[in-house]
Amino acid sequence: MLGYILQRILAAIPVMGFVALFVFLLLRLTPGDPAAIIAGDTATPAQLEAIRTSLGLNDPLFTQFFRWIGQLFQGDFGTSIISGKPVIELIAARMEPTISLALTTIVLSVAIAVPLGVIAAWKHGTLIDRFVMLLSVLGFSVPVFVIGYLMISLFSMQLGWFPVQGFKPIGDGVGKFFHTIALPTFTLTLLYIALIARITRTSMLEILGDDYVRTARAKGLPESRVLMRHALRNCSVPIITVIGIGLALIISGVVVTESVFNLPGLGRLTVDAVLARDYPVIQAVILLASLIYVVINLLIDIAYVILDPRIRYA
């Protein structure tokens, strides 16, 4: 197992290198000039040229790339072109809202979706099953930003239960924290409940027809024990897979959600950096997201072995 983990870590190195090269070239070959954004509309060509020279944007692309890679190996993600602050400080300051939103979303989604999927499979063909499938279709069909604006219209503007925007860190009080994070969490949760519940239902339907489940029922075991100890446990691998994929997808989902609810997280930082053509910030955030994807995939593979002892890695 240890050898497999080391192999996966080593395999991630060229993946991260390719991502770094792709992002670097994509940003610099697309239209837009950070110098023009910094200098403003009234800047002269000489001023623009001076800014580009000071930022190193006039250097050849390979020089800029290897300079950036060298900084990464030293733990330096560069300095924001717009704010002039170290990128690592900007990311650290924006981590709490994003992590809070991701964790509350995935915990609430799993807590609701897995029981829904189990019940839908158990009551296959009934109104409960159809309701769960309808919820799944709606969750997949409606864009996140539409759900977000509907949530704001209903629960913030009409009922006044939650604030329209903003974020309070947990250090300011648990009540204030959940009051501000609740609406964005519910918005993202609707999407991931649909994903996890559908996979749980499908996996449970395949397991419930197996011989060992019928044998457990024939022994007179309670239905709850048959469902949870025998069926759900043996179909946990695909469920864990989709939960891991959902956690990785939340990274992209928070970009839209944080913009809708004006949360000061990484998603909002990314949007602002893209609009300002702030190369160092965009590169650092995308690399961080790619690293999270790699780590989540590794954790999923490790979870396979824990949940199903029959799985072995050479």
What would the pLDDT profile of 107-124 be if each residue is shown by its tens digit? 888 888 888 888 888 888
CA 75 to chain centre: 24
Residue 90 has pLDDT above 80, yes or no: yes
Residue with tokens 């979870």: 303
What would the pLDDT profile of 148-163 be if each residue is shown by its tens digit? 888 888 888 888 888 8
Mean pLDDT of the chain: 78
Structure letter (DSSP) for residue 40: -
What would the pLDDT profile of 20-56 be if each residue is shown by its tens digit? 888 777 767 766 666 666 666 666 777 777 777 776 7
Domains assigned to the chain: 2-73 (no CATH), 96-307 (1.10.3720.10)
For the whole model, what pTM was predicted? 0.74
Q: Look at residue 224 in the predicted model and tell me its pLDDT.
A: 74
What would the pLDDT profile of 213-239 be if each residue is shown by its tens digit? 777 777 777 777 777 776 777 777 778
Closest CA to 266 of 151, 77, 27, 102: 102
**How many Å apart are CA 263 and CA 265, to the nearest integer?**
6
* Long-range pairs for 4-13: beta carbons < 8 A, 24 or more residues apart: 4/301, 4/313, 4/314, 5/298, 5/302, 8/297, 8/298, 8/301, 9/298, 12/294, 12/298
Number of C-beta neighbours around residue 64 at 10 A = 17
Q: Look at residue 85 in the predicted model and tell me its pLDDT.
A: 84
**How many Å apart are CA 75 and CA 81, to the nearest integer?**
18
What would the pLDDT profile of 50-77 be if each residue is shown by its tens digit? 777 776 777 777 787 888 788 778 777 7
Q: Look at residue 37 in the predicted model and tell me its pLDDT.
A: 64
Residue 267 has pLDDT above 70, yes or no: yes
